[in-house]
Structure 1
């Protein structure tokens, strides 16, 4: 009888261990969430096409508080095409980290959106695409229209895969904001 109990106990332990090890296979646990980028500084560089006269507008919030330490206005010339590039930094780390480089290597997960209000002030054309031919927005062309004052909203959407499925589709809908800033825009 004791031998039968030991045999039964061995079977129970063996089956329990089998379930335990099968439940802990690598690759079956959900992947950790791909967190948003920490961005303390956004610099927009506007260079009139055919020149080297770059104008910059910077948003900076090193402290992470509600009030930025720097938030420049943008002043551009009417009816002019500008090469527009954006630089992003995380200055909370030492040394400072270029988030631009990270986004450049993760293009399939990021999308910049540029929207002027009123829309007649400026239009934006993407100059870069990801491997699926979807826009990114690290570089592009900004074309000013009529003179006036308004806002230029700059958004960086973070659109990582969800449960292994790619969600970036070229629109703002999927994902969340890494950056959402409204610069004062004057076109004269």
Structure 2
């Protein structure tokens, strides 16, 4: 009988953690992989020959799933030209507006901006910034256009906490926009 009590006690002790609950602190924990709400993406193309800056905007102030974008510019660039590209990301659903660009810069090891033309021969993009690990960031870069063509320019902001390797594969999209592109 004594052995049965020992076995029962051991079984109870082994199962006890299954019935314990953690006390709720009342604080909501935010996951590391939480994506940013970005309502506005601004692209500033500065022609390296003339110094002229052209600004193109995507704006959807209520975010994905609500009303259509209130502004969705067509990017128009000159053929066979070189540009400096600077990007800005904002959350205009808040008052005052939240400038997400600074947060992306602070958390550069968790973010990657991808600039992908379609057709792929329309232009080339070269990063001019990087994170503290030497991997590209993409808030600024250099663009070289090819001959006249029309297509799309995909702007993606990848959120890659703990997984960034310089490629588009890990993480999730904070932004994924296909701007109409005309090189003429």
TM-score by length of 2: 0.81
Q: Structure 1 stretch 135-144 or stretch 65-74: which is displaced more?
A: 65-74
The alignment status of 1:144 with 2:140, answered yes or no, reads no
CA distance in 1, matches of 2:113, 2:31: 24
Aligned to 1:38: 37
Shift in Å at residue 49 of structure 1? 1.0
Cα RMSD after superposing both structures: 2.2
Deviations 1:102-129 (A, max 9, x none): 0010000000111111111111000000
Is the partner of 2:31 in helix, strand or coil?
coil
CA distance in 2, matches of 1:66, 1:117: 27
Whether the aligned pair in 1 keeps the contact of 2:33 and 2:160 (CA below 8 Å) is no
Is the partner of 1:36 in helix, strand or coil?
coil
The alignment status of 1:168 with 2:167, answered yes or no, reads no
Shift in Å at residue 149 of structure 1? 0.4
Gaps of 5+ in 2: 1-15, 24-28
CA distance in 2, matches of 1:156, 1:98: 15
Q: Structure 1 stretch 47-56 or stretch 124-133: which is displaced more?
A: 47-56
Deviations 1:54-98 (A, max 9, x none): 101100000222511110000000111100000110011111010
CA distance in 1, matches of 2:49, 2:107: 30
Aligned to 2:48: 49
Shift in Å at residue 34 of structure 1? 3.1
Whether the aligned pair in 1 keeps the contact of 2:80 and 2:145 (CA below 8 Å) is yes
Is the partner of 2:101 in helix, strand or coil?
helix
Between Structure 1 and Structure 2, how many residues are aligned? Answer: 161
Is the partner of 2:174 in helix, strand or coil?
strand
CA distance in 1, matches of 2:97, 2:177: 21
CA distance in 2, matches of 1:152, 1:31: 33
CA distance in 2, matches of 1:149, 1:34: 35
Aligned residue runs from structure 1 range 62-101, under 5 A: 62-64=61-63, 65=66, 67-101=68-102
The alignment status of 1:183 with 2:148, answered yes or no, reads no
